[in-house]
């Protein structure tokens, strides 16, 4: 029996006259996610259909679709006849394995084709009674059935299924402009990138690399994280910024307790330059209030002062366990905890400021050629497309 994938979406339905734009973007992202898997994808009646040409690739297609933002449910459905007597026979045969392993079931009908001669309650009653006769082990339970048999009557076909696979939800990537993610090798920034991408924001990433104080393995670790994120965002450019000269200058000329904050201000300024270059409208960081000294409210105010673009901090109110839970779910955690240090941990002072005063930080920056160092770092960027 032929099978097809039904793709359900959520928020897009609320977009009114703009809905088709979001649907088209989601279909584009679906094609991108499917990659080499040949499929025909189209939309009709608030559902997207994916006809996978080689049904042996159906499970791989579903695995890939589970990483596409904007999808709330993925359904592998049987395509049945609209002639009801034939439909009953086909449903019995298709659901044999599912229903023989269940104790209770319920039939639910969705009649999108209003010209169909049977109404939804009639479909439920007639098909439910037929399946009960075919499978004496089954009892009807309309509250908590082991198996929910769903029948969707559409204009051209009837679709039958038992299982819905939960999607990521959110909005299609690219539907909400672009932002630059400050991507470290830690746990928090990949999660922040994932969460912003879920809201439809396209991403490019910036990573600060301090050779020889950080190793090639640390750089490879960040690119591995970028590859994981790219599975959700449909690709990711990573801009590798040479940062050693800036850190050595700060260490030599500025008070040691200010090192982290001045370093963060350089990072923000450089990231803003990258954002301007790639036409991004915001910066994204993995900062969480109070997690480290540079993430107190006072410190974040000092950091924000270095840029004009808005700074999105999706994990700002989360504790570490909440962030780790998401990192495990999106498969970045095991890579993030690999023991290769990034530039932030190498140059961390013993006693960093937790309540800095902006005027003192700006005064110390005056000892440096801030604009020249930023321009030099931007000029030395290596861009890698993951």
Distance CA 312, CA 198 (A): 13
Annotated binding site for ATP: 182-183, 207-208, 264, 286, 295
Do strands 178-182 and 147-153 pair parallel, antiparallel, or not at all (unpaired)? unpaired
Q: Give the whole-angstrom CA distance, residue 372 versus residue 386.
A: 30
Write down the residue that tokens 């044999």 correspond to. 96
Q: Residue 233's closest CA among 283, 187, 181? A: 181
Contact, 300 vs 202, CB < 8 A? Answer: no
Burial class (CB in 10 A: 0-12, 13-18, 19+), 44: exposed
DSSP H helices, 216-258, are 216-233, 244-253
Could you list the residues known to form a binding site, using ranges: 182-183, 207-208, 264, 286, 295
Helix 120-134, helix 84-94: angle, nearest 10: 50
Q: How are beta strands 382-385 and 237-242 bridged, if at all?
A: antiparallel
Which among 54, 29, 20, 67 is positioned nearest to 228, based on CA atoms?
A: 67
Q: Tokens in use for 267?
A: 């990072």
The DSSP result for 258-322, as a single string, is GHHHHHHHHHHHHHHHHHHHHT--EEE----TTSSGGGSHHHHHHHHTT-SS-EE-TTTT--HHH
- Do 12 and 70 contact (CB within 8 A), yes or no? yes
The total of other beta-carbon atoms located within 10 Å of residue 63's CB is 12
Q: Tokens for 152?
A: 């969707």
Angle of CA points 384, 385, 386, to nearest 5°: 115
> CA-CA distance, 301 to 293, in Å (whole number)?
13
């Amino acid at each position: 029996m032929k099978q097809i994938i039904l793709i359900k979406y959520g928020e897009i339905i609320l977009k009114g006259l703009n809905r088709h734009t979001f649907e088209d973007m989601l279909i584009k992202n679906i094609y991108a996610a499917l990659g080499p898997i040949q499929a025909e994808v189209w939309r009709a009646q608030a559902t997207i259909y994916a006809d996978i040409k080689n049904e042996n690739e159906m499970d791989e297609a579903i695995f890939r679709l589970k990483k596409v933002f904007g999808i709330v449910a993925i359904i592998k459905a049987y395509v049945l006849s609209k002639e009801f007597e034939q439909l009953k026979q086909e449903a019995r045969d298709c659901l044999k394995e599912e229903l023989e392993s269940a104790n209770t079931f319920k039939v639910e009908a969705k009649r999108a084709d209003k010209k169909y001669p049977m109404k939804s309650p009639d479909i439920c009653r007639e098909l439910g009674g037929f399946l009960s006769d075919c499978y004496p082990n089954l009892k009807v339970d309309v509250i908590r059935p082991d198996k929910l048999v769903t029948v969707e009557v559409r204009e051209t076909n009837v679709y039958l299924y038992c299982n819905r696979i939960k999607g990521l939800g959110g909005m299609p990537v690219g539907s909400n402009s672009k932002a630059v993610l400050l991507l470290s090798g830690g746990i928090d920034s990949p999660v922040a990138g994932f969460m912003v991408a879920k809201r439809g924001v396209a991403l490019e990433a910036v990573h600060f690399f301090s050779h020889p104080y950080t190793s090639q393995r640390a750089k490879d670790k960040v690119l591995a994280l970028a590859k994981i994120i790219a599975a959700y965002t449909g690709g990711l450019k990573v801009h590798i910024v040479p940062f050693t000269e800036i850190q050595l200058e700060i260490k030599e000329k500025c008070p040691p307790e200010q090192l982290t904050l001045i370093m963060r201000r350089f990072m923000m300024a450089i990231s803003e330059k990258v954002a301007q270059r790639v036409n991004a409208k915001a910066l994204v960081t993995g900062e969480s209030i109070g997690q480290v000294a540079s993430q107190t409210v006072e410190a974040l105010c000092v950091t924000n002062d270095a840029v004009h673009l808005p700074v999105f901090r999706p994990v700002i109110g989360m504790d570490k366990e909440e962030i780790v839970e998401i990192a495990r779910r999106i498969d970045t955690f095991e890579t993030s905890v690999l023991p290769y240090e990034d530039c932030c941990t190498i140059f961390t002072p013993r006693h960093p400021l937790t309540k800095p005063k902006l005027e003192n930080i700006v005064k110390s920056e005056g000892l440096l050629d801030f604009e020249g160092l930023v321009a030099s770092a931007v000029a030395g960027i290596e861009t890698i497309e993951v």
